[in-house]
Chain A
């Protein structure tokens, strides 16, 4: 699926900056986290006071390595840090510690899933290659106030993993799919929280156009600091159209750095800083080269969770789940694991369990939690199963009761609602409410005969026998009434048809 009209091809590469899940900053021991008063998370090292030195945070390195293992990259034996020198008020040392030559992760790939023909149909899968990922520090936050600007250094020094893709993406849909997949992988491995509302994931988007079939890449533009998946998507669409317009008008594309104005849905050129490109990179003399032991890599490999699409394939192919339910489950690791526990307790109907979990449970949890903060609007927010009133085995028990015909599907909904409210077992609620379906064939046959014999339904019987399928429903009501609504509907239907011939 491409945004470019035939003849043209858009080529996209992304640089995704992700704040890693650590308690302290990457080169300083100051804590960090959202919502603090300005400059409360600043120590002498963060502020760049004279005489201070960086010390690398082990957790930040390990989370970076873990990411590498998650994407199947290679983790080199050594990595080192370099200084990127430039002056800016949000940059406390006026150099940023980053990794230019020897990053912590090299290579790897991310499997993405594109939208299918319809909601229920799985779309095409593709692999997007990762060029590398490097560990660096974030900068402070500038805001503007009247005739001046203000700087808050709480964010300065936060660990950032910059993940750089190869230019493998070919449409806004692919860019979106990539980010969703990446976020799922990062959060499911515990590498990062990716809360985009808190600025924990920002994206730079490189877009170029070329003639379809051409080998050489066109001149690219870079749009920086996109902080939502929808703005990445919109930027790709906008920039694709803009570049094609330019090229078709006979103009050439200027290599430039751009910004995106989400309100106006427009890109714009960032002020061109002439010396912006001479960062005078050199190896940081304060941080020696780091040797990464194979023991550490082996230990971290144990923490790599099942890839969400591997899990999805397993659910659909091995467990027979419908695609939609599987898709919902695999995007939340805790939810998937919850489902698997329930399915283990009642292994004969995984689809039945999946449907309840993916639809009813998720809906009720979300409703009870209120609108949880999180990703993009179009991504389901992660729900906290920690406070779920129902335990996996209990849900399994409910499904078993339905499968055994003890209650109907309709009744199951009622029972589920009660389980969610009270946390009680399904069987206890069924008994307490006297909901056990009447599946006593003998008793029901008698009632069926009684109802058929009633002249009030003679007309309906005639219509049914004449070919009107729906007429049979008129007989079901009286039967249900005589059984206080407990007659097994499937059985009733069966017995009626048998009796009516």
Chain B
């Protein structure tokens, strides 16, 4: 039935498209109708070229008719966070600084999606330059949590998560530097995976913190997440940090019921709301009942994770965002004078407060006389954290924690307290620091607000994470949950 298309999984849509009972055109028309009905309320998309979408859909249908369908994603729309380059589409990063920019080139993941026959479906709202945990830092528009339109969807991939929860699209791409895929996935009741650092090419991902950023798949169920991951993960010579063909063998999933689960000691005490703790504990008990061994693990340097992250990430960001100066592209101030004055004015006009704060902080921790005390120490702390996580994961298959200590807060509630927000990244940050794969899977509610649990695995253990997620999901009703809108 046409009006239920927006509730179906990508896997199911793929089956119907392959069977010929559905065309990509019909699917896109249904989703575009839902977009018209719903996007204004939710604000997930900042840009959607409907004519372009339908043209892609027609091309896909023609390919399929000619027997040239390209695989399970053929004809399926994938919405894209606005910091991932798609040729001919805006690349604003939800910032005034890049509002005029139309990307002249495709990211690696865009090329992969095209090669898979997927429909590149619009641009999704985000915190400006991926800096934030609520999408309130977007300079373009507001995005709201479909489960409660007075609350934030999480961030920085807020649009990516909200679009899924609102039934606007079956698959989306996000990016994750300190939790920006997993946290909004948790807040919006959907699935989000951050892959092992280096598994998916960053070529075409606008850099925030180069050694931490990763693109990742988001969907309403674990199987769809895996489908999208397969399409994206491939070697790319244009990114030297991306694994080459010989280094990227994924660990097999194994039997999920035999997973050894590690619970980091003391993590549930870290300001976790009671209903979140309850939902996550229930997940632990579920795995235990399946036969998984559950044990406690020690991560002594856990308290270093947030400061380490904010030193490293802001340092790299302050350098990565140096290129935005109004000279070659993007916003240029009308302020005349010297080039220094023009650049300063362009940057000051183009960047929002959170971006400026992070640039200032990053500049400080790299500056002469302070780099040793901050940046160099942070690199050493990072090495220690990584070593501890790898040691813990030598004895268990996955580490399990909540994704976020508390559920989605109200819009504006934490706007004046950046430190508060930073501290909420406590569970997601270590996976970025250590380069490890991690997934958030819905596991319950706090009142009406979704709660997710968080699994971290050893490098290249995505298959295990997905298997663990599927085991849980199959026994619970959270897959494909959508807010009533």
Contact = CB atoms under 8 A, between A and B. Distances in A.
Please determine if A and B sit in direct contact within the complex, based on CB atoms under 8 angstroms apart: yes
Interface of A: 44, 47-56, 83, 85, 87-89, 92-95, 149, 151, 153, 277-278, 280, 282, 285-288
A54 B322 contact: no
Contact of A53 (B93, B202, B368): B202
Interface string B51-84: 0000000000000000000000000000000011
B322 A94 contact: yes
A93 B323 contact: yes
Contact of B328 (A47, A56, A88, A280): A47
Given A92-B323, A94-B323, A285-B210, A278 B367 contact: yes
B128 interface: no
Interface residues of B, number: 45
B323 A48 contact: yes
Given A51-B203, A53-B202, A280 B367 contact: yes
Nearest first, the 9 A-B pairs at minimum CB distance are: A94-B322, A280-B366, A285-B210, A285-B211, A50-B206, A51-B204, A48-B323, A278-B368, A93-B323
Contacts of B101: 50
Given A49-B104, A55-B238, A282-B315, A94 B366 contact: no
16 contacts: A47-B328, A47-B329, A49-B105, A50-B83, A50-B93, A51-B83, A51-B202, A54-B240, A55-B238, A88-B339, A89-B327, A277-B368, A280-B366, A280-B368, A280-B371, A286-B240
Contacts of A87: 322, 325, 340, 343
Contacts of A48: 323, 328
Contact of A282 (B324, B327, B371): B371
B316 interface: yes
A244 B98 CA distance: 53
B207 interface: yes
B91 interface: yes
Interface in B440-481: none
B240 A55 contact: yes
B241 A85 contact: no
B354 interface: no
A151 B204 contact: no
Contacts of B343: 87
A305 B84 CA distance: 49
A51 B203 CA distance: 6
B238 A151 contact: no
A56 B368 CA distance: 28
Interface string B224-241: 000000000000011111
B9 interface: no
B429 interface: no
Contacts of A44: 104-105
Contacts of B375: 282
Nearest to B364: A280
Interface string B355-380: 00000000100111001000100000
B85 interface: yes
B243 to A, nearest CB: 11
Nearest to B368: A278
Contacts of A151: 327
B406 interface: no
B339 A288 contact: no
Contacts of A47: 328-329
Nearest to B322: A94
A456 B207 CA distance: 100
> Which of B318, B324, B366, B375 counts the most A-chain CB atoms under 10 A from its CB?
B366
Contacts of B327: 89, 151
Nearest to A86: B322
A83 B210 CA distance: 13
Contact of B240 (A49, A56, A89, A278): A56
B200 interface: no
B319 interface: yes
B366 A282 contact: yes
B240 A51 contact: no
A93 B322 contact: yes
B215 to A, nearest CB: 10
Contacts of A277: 368
A187 B322 CA distance: 37
A476 B42 CA distance: 113
Contacts of B85: 49-51
Contacts of B319: 83, 85, 95, 280, 282
B24 interface: no
Contacts of B202: 51, 53
A286 B93 contact: no
B78 to A, nearest CB: 17
Contacts of B325: 87, 94
Contact of B107 (A51, A88, A93): A51
B31 interface: no
A405 B284 CA distance: 105
A287 B104 contact: no
Interface in B211-268: 211, 237-241
A48 B330 CA distance: 12
Contacts of A54: 240
B205 interface: yes
A53 B203 contact: yes
B91 A51 contact: yes
> Which of A93, A149, A153 counts the most B-chain CB atoms under 10 A from its CB?
A93
A355 B171 CA distance: 79
Nearest to A283: B379
Contacts of B339: 88-89, 149
B98 A50 contact: yes
B173 to A, nearest CB: 13
A51 B201 CA distance: 11
Contact of A287 (B107, B238, B240): B240
A95 B328 CA distance: 14
Given A93-B322, A285-B241, 13 more contacts: A47-B329, A50-B98, A50-B207, A50-B324, A52-B203, A54-B240, A55-B237, A56-B240, A85-B322, A94-B325, A95-B319, A278-B367, A282-B366
Interface in B72-121: 83-85, 91, 93, 98, 101, 103-105, 107
Contacts of B324: 50
A54 B103 CA distance: 18
Interface string B291-318: 0000000000000000000000001101
Contacts of B105: 44, 49, 52
A311 B315 CA distance: 52
Given A49-B329, A51-B107, A93-B323, A288 B241 contact: yes
Contact of A51 (B205, B315, B322): B205
A153 B328 CA distance: 10
A282 B203 CA distance: 21
Contacts of A50: 83, 85, 91, 93, 98, 101, 103, 206-207, 323-324
A407 to B, nearest CB: 64
A43 B343 CA distance: 22
A278 B375 CA distance: 15
A53 B323 contact: no
Contacts of A95: 319, 322
> Which of B207, B315, B319, B329 counts the most A-chain CB atoms under 10 A from its CB?
B319
B54 to A, nearest CB: 27
Nearest to A153: B328
Contacts of A56: 240
A95 B323 CA distance: 8
A32 to B, nearest CB: 18
Given A49-B329, A278-B368, A286 B210 contact: yes
B366 A53 contact: no
B256 to A, nearest CB: 34
Contacts of B367: 278, 280
B216 to A, nearest CB: 16
Interface in B112-154: none
Nearest to A50: B206
Nearest to A93: B323
A94 B330 CA distance: 15
Contacts of A49: 85, 103-105, 329
